[in-house]
Amino acid sequence: MNEQEREILTQFSKKRSNLIPILQKLQETEKYISPELISEVGQYLDISENDIYSVAGFYPGFRLTAPGEHRIGVCLCLSCRLKGGNDILLALEKELGISAGQTTGDSKFSLDRITLSGCSGSSPVVMVDKAAVDNMTADRVKELISKYR
C-alpha cells in the first residue's frame, strides 16, 4: 500500500460503516479496487476480504479490475435504452470480446454500463474516455473501436 492509500484509510475511523466511503475514495484515486487494497481495507476495518468483495460486487459503481487504456461506457438510461442502447452494448461486447465490467486482455479497452442524465436529444450516447459519442448505433461500433486501436 502506498503513502496516498494509507492517507486515505486514516481519514476514516475504523468503523465498518466506513467501508463504502473508503472504497469510493480509494477507487477515485486508484481507478479500481485491487485485491491488495481489499486486503489492506479488511485489516484496517477488521472485516473479512469476502465481506468486502460482497459489498464491492453488489454495487455496480465499484470496479474490481484495472481499467483499460480507453474506458467505454454505454449509457443505459431510459432514453438510450429505447433508442438502442442495449444493442450497442451487445455489439461492443462482441467486438471487444468482453462483457460489461471487464477489460480486454491487452488492457486497451474497458467496457461499462453507465447512466447519464439529460441526453434524451442525443441518445443513445457512448462515452469513450471523456468524450461523448452522440446518436450512436450498433452499426457504427466497429468504426468507433477502430479509431482507438
Domains and CATH numbers, the chain: 3-58 (no CATH), 70-148 (3.40.30.10)
pLDDT of residue 114: 92
Mean pLDDT value across residues 7-22: 96
pLDDT of residue 60: 77
Q: Considering only residues 117 and 85, tell me which one the structure prediction assigns the higher pLDDT.
A: 85
What are the C-alpha distances in Å from 67 to residues 37, 52, 98, 103, 120?
15, 20, 13, 6, 28
pLDDT of residue 101: 87
Mean pLDDT value across residues 2-25: 95
What are the C-alpha distances in Å from 29 to residues 2, 5, 13, 89, 143?
12, 8, 19, 27, 32
pLDDT of residue 119: 81
pLDDT tens for each residue of 49-102: 999 999 998 987 898 888 999 999 999 999 999 999 999 999 999 999 999 989
The pTM (predicted TM-score) of the whole model is 0.77
